[in-house]
Amino acid sequence: MFPTGFVWGAATSAYQIEGGLSADGRGTSIWDSFCRQEGRIVGGDHAETAIDHYNRYRDDVKLMADLGLTAYRFSVSWPRIQPDGSGAYNAKGLDFYKRLVDELLSYGIDPWLTLYHWDLPQALEDAGGWPARDTSKRFADFAATVHAELSDRVRNWSTVNEPWCSAFLGYASGEHAPGRREPAAALRAAHHLNLAHGLAVQAMRAQNAGSQIGGCVNLYPVTPATASEADQDAARRIDGLQNRFFLDALLKGAYPEDVLADLSHISDMSFIQDGDLAAIGAPLDMLLVNYYSRFTVSGAPGGAVSAAAAPTDSGSPWIGSEHVGFVNAGRPVTAMGWEVDDSGLYETLRRLADEYPRVPLYISENGAAYDDVFGEDGTVHDPDRVAYIEAHLRTCHAAIESGVPLQGYFAWSLMDNFEWAWGYGKRFGLVYVDYETQARTMKSSALWYADTIRHGGLLGRAQ
Ligand code: FCB
């Protein structure tokens, strides 16, 4: 049984579900442009309609209510609310989120709002994108406006979803929008995404609305493939770039010295200005953690099996550590090729509790893609996903028992959706979506999750 008050949620993001890319005055985002470029998205998929949540949000909220969710994590689309990322706001765009939130509240579902889940207004990219410091300030203004408009009905706020991805997949490997491959720019982007978080927190706090505000990071324990010095150095480097660069900044107000040293040939870091880290490291009400898998790495020449899986032609996101190989440690994998390892979640949570200032924690994303089949009897049987979520929830429970201040769990994702560069081929949903008809069908994992929520805990080993 989980503690009373434990938050049982599911998550989505605007770009992956909404569609309606030109509805009601929405501006263009970097993902709109990226999807139009040949070879960027598997199968040439795009999010023009996505799963039509913009029009079907009422039905989708009803689904959440049927599942018994106590909370729903979603993101707002910046270009829908502020088409050019600066200047005029679009009342119709804001209104969509007000209606969505009111619908959630009418069912007693707590809205958890993420301000940025990767859909930067194209006009801001044209002005330099995240490598430009001004983008952080634009984001703080945007955050202040959205917060002023919605904090009367939304209590839980997070700033930037997974800054690592925006910075290093967007500007180093180029597998995400805007598709640039510029290591030095990627590093500036990483800092400016952290700064955007810090400035947005400041701007929202200044409104004294009593909101709970957090940042959101994607964490992976990193294990050396062997005890060799080269592999241990590889693990230190990848852990540094993936985890500590963001955690230390947000929770300790400092960048790790060893990471700055690893990157010193790429940049002199002069983009870090006085006061930045104080803003970035200001106390938070919570930390949102996305967890999917563990990395096993090798630093030996020739030790590399594969770089992190990218669907299309791309460079390395691991700036300054391009030599590091990612080794398959032999665990079962999901349809993404990601190894299933719930013990990595335990390690991640313990590490936060042991090495960082105490802050309430939430798993804001966890889940798995599998090749789901819509059965002839109209059901979708996904035992692998049930087993994945069951194991990770069991681990969450163990972490809580060990004293970790974990207070909630959001499954990724509520519904199948547009999985970025992978398009629609990777299904993460608890709910199956027929992309032709937009029909939604609860998979067995959804029914299992609903039972779990109703019970307030795990009912026994998944079959
Ligand atoms: C995370 C993203 C989310 C989704 C999952 C599978 O990195 O935040 O949008 O794509 O991975």
Among protein residues, the one whose CA lies closest to atom 5 of ligand 1: 412
For residue 168 and ligand 1, the question of a CB distance below 6 A is answered with no
Q: What is the pLDDT of residues 329-379, one digit of tens each?
A: 999 999 999 999 999 999 999 999 999 999 999 999 999 999 999 999 999
Confidence band, pLDDT 50/70/90 cuts, at residue 411: very high
Whether residue 74 contacts residue 7, with contact meaning beta carbons closer than 8 Å, is answered with no
User: Distance, CA 17 to ligand 1 centroid (Å)?
Assistant: 12
- What is the percent of the chain with per-residue pLDDT over 90, rounded to a whole number? 95
User: Distance, CA 122 to ligand 1 centroid (Å)?
Assistant: 21
Atom number, ligand 1, closest to the C-alpha of residue 218: 7
Atom number, ligand 1, closest to the C-alpha of residue 336: 6
User: Distance, CA 207 to ligand 1 centroid (Å)?
Assistant: 30
For residue 165 and ligand 1, the question of a CB distance below 6 A is answered with yes
Q: Is 162 in the active site?
A: no
Q: What is the pLDDT of residues 108-154, one digit of tens each?
A: 999 999 999 999 999 999 999 999 999 999 999 999 999 999 999 99
* Mean pLDDT computed over every residue of the chain: 96
For the ranges 232-246, 317-331, 373-387, 448-462, the lowest mean pLDDT is seen at: 448-462
51, 168, 290: residue to mutate for ligand 1 pocket, most atoms within 8 A of CB: 290
The residue length of the chain stands at: 463
Atom number, ligand 1, closest to the C-alpha of residue 16: 9
In this predicted structure, the answer to whether residue 307 has a pLDDT above a threshold of 50 is no
Mean predicted confidence (pLDDT) in 266-295: 98
Confidence band, pLDDT 50/70/90 cuts, at residue 206: very high
118, 392, 419: residue to mutate for ligand 1 pocket, most atoms within 8 A of CB: 419
Confidence band, pLDDT 50/70/90 cuts, at residue 409: very high
Among protein residues, the one whose CA lies closest to atom 10 of ligand 1: 419
User: Distance, CA 292 to ligand 1 centroid (Å)?
Assistant: 9
401 burial type by CB count under 10 A (0-12 exposed, 13-18 middle, 19+ buried): exposed
Q: Which of 162, 175, 365, 419 is catalytic?
A: 365
Q: What is the pLDDT of residues 244-257, one digit of tens each?
A: 999 999 999 999 99
pLDDT at 230: 95
User: Distance, CA 298 to ligand 1 centroid (Å)?
Assistant: 25
Confidence band, pLDDT 50/70/90 cuts, at residue 168: very high
Integer Cα distance of 433 and 414 in angstroms: 10
Mean predicted confidence (pLDDT) in 378-393: 98
In this predicted structure, the answer to whether residue 441 has a pLDDT above a threshold of 60 is yes
Q: C-alpha 146: how far from its chain's center?
A: 20
pLDDT at 108: 98
Give every CB contact of residue 238 below 8 A, 6+ residues apart in sequence. Answer: 222, 295, 297, 318, 321, 324
For residue 161 and ligand 1, the question of a CB distance below 6 A is answered with yes
User: Distance, CA 167 to ligand 1 centroid (Å)?
Assistant: 14
Mean predicted confidence (pLDDT) in 183-195: 98
For residue 308 and ligand 1, the question of a CB distance below 6 A is answered with no
Whether residue 16 contacts residue 422, with contact meaning beta carbons closer than 8 Å, is answered with no
Domains and CATH numbers, the chain: 7-455 (3.20.20.80)
Integer Cα distance of 51 and 60 in angstroms: 10
Q: What is the pLDDT of residues 14-53, one digit of tens each?
A: 999 999 999 999 999 999 999 999 999 999 999 999 999 9
Confidence band, pLDDT 50/70/90 cuts, at residue 463: very low
Integer Cα distance of 291 and 409 in angstroms: 11
365, 388, 428: residue to mutate for ligand 1 pocket, most atoms within 8 A of CB: 365
In this predicted structure, the answer to whether residue 7 has a pLDDT above a threshold of 90 is yes
pTM: 0.98
Confidence band, pLDDT 50/70/90 cuts, at residue 309: low
pLDDT at 311: 77
Beta-strand relationship, 431-433 and 440-442: antiparallel
Task: Give me the helices (H) in 88-244, please.
Answer: 91-106, 122-126, 134-150, 163-164, 170-171, 183-205, 229-239
Whether omega before 178 lies within 30 degrees of 0, making that bond cis, reads yes
Whether residue 434 contacts residue 374, with contact meaning beta carbons closer than 8 Å, is answered with yes
Mean predicted confidence (pLDDT) in 79-107: 98
pLDDT at 312: 76
In this predicted structure, the answer to whether residue 393 has a pLDDT above a threshold of 60 is yes
Strand-by-strand arrangement of the 222-224 sheet: 222-224, 295-298, 325-326
- What is the percent of the chain with per-residue pLDDT over 70, rounded to a whole number? 97
Give every CB contact of residue 437 below 8 A, 6+ residues apart in sequence. Answer: none
Give every CB contact of residue 302 below 8 A, 6+ residues apart in sequence. Answer: none
Confidence band, pLDDT 50/70/90 cuts, at residue 302: low
